Chains A and B, each alone.
Chain A
Amino acid sequence: MITALVIENLSLQRGERVLFSGLSARVEGGEAVALTGANGAGKTSLLRAVAGLFAPRAGTISFEGTADADEARRMGVHLLGHQDGLKAGRTAREELIFAARWSGASGEAALGAAERLGLTRQLDLETRRLSAGQRRRLALARLIAAPRALWLLDEPLAPLDRAGRVLLGEIMGDHVERGGLILAAVHDPLPIASRTVEIGA
């Protein structure tokens, strides 16, 4: 299990443009860290680089507690991006059960997660019938359907209503309490975050 995320002297580049350079940060187990910065500063790219989907220009990203970074990413990382990857023609139940089983959990865990997110009544709807907030709740349900240590959240609060934000706060609190790690790109303050890393400052 991942016990810490270590970013050292990281530089990211998109096309010709250098997003930022020389970034060092650490996220310990049981800690949530907020990632802030202007639009286009490179928050999403940083999260994708941590997830191993985007190659850094320089610097290193490593995980403590596991021997192999690829292994850590494959079994230890949840990435919740702007796009939720939900298929329009499939039901919420199908998508959630797939996500749970794909991450090594059982279908029952997925249904428990749906209940926690208040989606029980929407489970048999096709995802195209869900509102933006409900889709986000469904994407969040994937986080708790299969336990993984490091959560990389890209503006997780964005389409949620007030009750949804409170719920997300609780879910993140539970995760951190169990020793999980959270790195969340946000524009609004994130109450649970113990520290803030600002990029492009």
Chain B
Amino acid sequence: MRALSALFGRELALAWGRGGGPLLAVGFLAAVTTLMPLALGPAPGPLEAVAAGVTWVALALASLLTLDRMFERDFEDGALDLLALGPLPLEAVAAVKCLAQWLVNGAPLALAAPLAAIALGAPVRAAPIIVGVSALGGIAFAFLGGTGAALALASRRGGVLVAVIVLPLIIPPVIFGGAAVSAFEAGLPWTTGAMLLCAYALGAVGLTPFAMAGACRNALS
């Protein structure tokens, strides 16, 4: 327990310091949602129609911004050796890293997302579902992004590789989450999309730590 809490505290601090912490991701979301009306024009009709969808896609991309260095620093400076020789298996280390990444970047994004969507014209009553979908989706993005970051270790042009690996993996949660939000706004049954998103996030949490740990071991040897 002591090792776990020590690791969690350290990963939170490192995620907070990495690339400006949550500011970069939230700033990206804010930038996209302020630029959108400038590009689409001031008429509320088209803006309202895309508000939730644009916010959701911007959030998905924003959550990928800061995670390409998730394992790379530790790999370059030798800290990954230290983590590999600890009481917890690398699978747990990877999961803790992703969880810290989500708390520092995903959770603030989930709180900012309804503000951005409502500012674009989404109905206020959609705020809770936008928070929920963003939080769940953020978990999936953090774990999938971590997988990409781990797989790209020890390769040149790692950043490009992360994007190429991760983008296809985040398409399903983007579709599920978007479907849930737009169904809710239209007054249709929305739980199917939310359930699928939940299942995808759970699957990512359950499976990707093994991939991340394997990729780290591979990079270390």
Interface residues of A (CB under 8 A from B): 48, 51-55, 73-75, 77-79, 81-87, 89-90, 94, 97-99, 101-104
Q: Mark B47-90, 1 if CB is under 8 A from A, else 0.
A: 00000000000000000000000000110111111111111010
B5 nearest CB across to chain A (Å)? 8
Q: B86 touching A51 by the CB < 8 A rule?
A: no
B17: Cβ under 8 A from any A Cβ: yes
State the majority secondary structure of interface residues on B: helix
Is B81 within 8 A of A85, CB to CB? yes
The binding surface of chain A is classed by DSSP as loop
In the complex, what distance in Å separates the CA atom of A41 from the CA atom of B83? Answer: 26
* B74 neighbours in A (Cβ, 8 Å): 85
Q: How many A-B residue pairs have CB under 8 A?
A: 79
The residues of B that contact A98 with a CB separation of less than 8 Å are 6-7, 9-10
Within the complex, the shortest CB–CB distance from A1 to chain B, in Å, comes to 15
State in angstroms the CA–CA spacing of A48 and B197 once bound together: 41
- With contact pairs A54-B221, A101-B2, A101-B6 given, residues A89 and B85 touching in the complex (Cβ less than 8 Å): no
Known contacts A101-B6, A104-B3, A85 near B86 by CB under 8 Å: no
- Contact A90/B221 with A81-B81, A85-B81, A103-B86 known, Cβ cut-off 8 Å: no
Q: Give the CA-CA distance A102 to B3 in the complex, in Å.
A: 4
Q: Does B207 touch A at the CB level, under 8 Å?
A: no
Which residue from A75, A81, A87, A101 sits with its C-beta under 8 Å from B14? A87
